[in-house]
Amino acid sequence: MTGKRGGFLRDNGLSLAFGGLFVVTLVGQAVSGAADFNAQQIANGLEPVSMQEYVTSSSFGVDVMENWQSEYLQFFLYIFATVWLVQRGSAESKKPGDEGTESDKDQRVGPHATEDSPEWARTGGWRGLVFSRSLGLLMGALFLLTWAASSVAGWAAYNGEQLGQLEDPVSWFGYLGEADFWNRSFQNWQSEMLAVGSMTVFSVYLRQRGSPESKPVGVAHAETGETG
Amino acid sequence: MPRRCSRPTSVSLALLGGAVLLLGGCASAQRPDVEQVATRFTDPSGDPEARCDLLTPASLASFERSEAAPCAEAINQLPLDSGSVRSVEIWGGEAQVRLTGDTLFLTETHSGWRVTAAGCRMHADAPYDCEVEP
C-alpha cells in the first residue's frame, strides 16, 4: 500500500518540513553561538570574530558534531535494539514473541519478494544481507563518522582553549583521554537514551490521534505494535 | 586584514581526513608569521617601541601596571631569552612558540599575531608562569 499520491510537496511534506527546520535551527545555533563566543572573546581581552570565522571554527564544529553523533547513535541503537527487545503495549515495539530478524516470508525477501520489492531484496546473497540491515548500518556508520569528526573538532577547540589559558596542547590520543571529550559525549548520549526510553513507555499509555508514532486512541494499553 | 584559518566541521571520512590536513596546512601557512613575531619580540636589540607594539592591549596594560613604567622603558629589563625556535603549535587563533630558553603564547588579531604571554616557565599540570601575561 503506497497511499494516494499527491503533489511533490504533499508527498514529501515530512522530509521537507524537517529539512527546513534543520536549516533554520542550524542558523539559530550559528547566530547565538557566535554571540556567545564573542562575549567570551571580549571578556578574555581578545578580538571578536566574524560570522564566517565562527562557522568555520572548531568551536562551532564540535558543538554541531557532538549533537549529530548522539542522534545517529540513538537511531542506530534503537533500530538494532527493537529487533530483539520488545515493550508490551508500546507503539514503538513489535509484539512480544516476534523478537528476532523474522522469517523471509514475513520480511518478503528472496522467493517471497513481490514484484515491487526493492531489487536487492529479491536477489538475496550478500546484497540481500546488506540491504536487509542497511538502515541500521548507515546509522552506525554515520554515528562513527560524526563521533570521529566530533573528536577532531573537539581536539582543535580544546587545544585553542589550552593555549589561551597558557597551557600546553595535547595530542589527539591525549584528547581522547580528556574529560572534555567524554563529558561532551556522555551529556549528549544520556539525553538521547532518556528521550527514546520515555517515548517507548509513554506510547503505552498516551495517544496522539492521527500520528503513526502513537497507537490509535481507542486501542488498549496492553496492545503492542499497532500504529495509528 | 590577515585571513583566519578555517577549522573542521566535517561529516564524512573524506572531509574528516581533509579537516586533519586543513589543521596541519593552516598551521604551516601561519607558522612563519608566528615565528617572526615571537623572535622580534624577544630580540633584545630590537626597537623597544616596536617590541611593545607586538603585545596585545590586555598584556601591554598588565605589563605596564606590574612594572609601574611605560612598556618601552621596562621591556629591556625583562629576562627574555631570544634563542632559536624549537617548536611552534598553532590551534585556531592561538599559538605557542618554544624558543631555546623561553616560551611565548600568541593570539591572532585583526592586525596580525600578537604576544599574550612571554618569559613563560612550565609548571606541571598548571598554566605556565609568565613574566608578561594578560
| pLDDT per residue of chain A (228 residues) written in tens, 0 to 9 | 567 777 999 999 999 999 999 999 999 999 999 999 999 988 887 889 999 999 999 999 999 999 999 999 999 999 999 999 999 999 999 999 999 999 999 999 989 999 999 999 998 899 999 999 999 999 999 999 999 999 999 999 999 999 999 999 999 999 999 999 999 999 999 999 999 999 999 999 999 999 999 999 999 999 997 776
Q: Is residue A76 classed exposed, middle or buried when 0-12, 13-18 and 19+ CB atoms within 10 A define those classes?
A: buried
Q: pLDDT, tens digit, for every residue of B84-104?
A: 899 999 998 999 999 988 999
Output the pTM of the full model.
0.86
3-state secondary structure of B126: strand
Closest by alpha carbon to B90, among B125, B38, B52, B15?
B38
Q: Are strands B112-123 and B94-99 parallel, antiparallel or unpaired?
A: unpaired
> Are B42 and B106 a contacting pair, CB within 8 Å?
no
pLDDT of residue B29: 86
Which of A66, A146, A166 would best serve as a mutation to test chain B binding (most B beta carbons within 10 A)? A166
Scanning every residue of chain A, which has its alpha carbon at the shortest distance from the alpha carbon of B120?
Answer: A166
Counting Cα atoms < 13 Å in the Cβ hemisphere of A72 gives 22
ipTM rounded to 2 decimals: 0.84
Q: How many residues does chain B have?
A: 134
Q: How far is CA A214 from CA A15, A86, A218, in A?
A: 19, 16, 11
Rounded Cα gap, residues B60 and B75, in angstroms: 10
Question: How many helices (H) and strands (E) are present in chain A, helices listed first?
Answer: 10, 0
Q: Does B17 touch chain A (CB under 8 A)?
A: no
Q: Do B117 and A163 touch (CB under 8 A)?
A: no
For residue A193, which amino acid is it? M
CA angle A25, A193, A99 (to 5 degrees): 120
- Selected from 3.40.720, 3.10.450, 1.20.950, 2.60.40, the CATH number assigned to the domain covering B31-132 reads 3.10.450
Element (H, E) at B28: helix B13-42
List per-block mean pLDDT (blocks of 10 residues) for chain B, which spans 134 residues: 41 55 69 94 92 94 93 89 89 93 92 94 88 90
Rounded Cα gap, residues B11 and B14, in angstroms: 8
Cα A191 from chain centroid (whole Å): 12
3-state secondary structure of B103: strand
Domain ranges of chain B: 31-132
Counting Cα atoms < 13 Å in the Cβ hemisphere of B60 gives 17
Which of A46, A68, A162 would best serve as a mutation to test chain B binding (most B beta carbons within 10 A)? A46
SS (H, E, C) B56-98: CHHHHHHHHHHHCCCHHHHHHHCCCCCCCEEEEEEECCEEEEE
Within 10 Å of residue A24's Cβ, how many Cβ atoms?
10
Scanning every residue of chain B, which has its alpha carbon at the shortest distance from the alpha carbon of A146?
Answer: B11
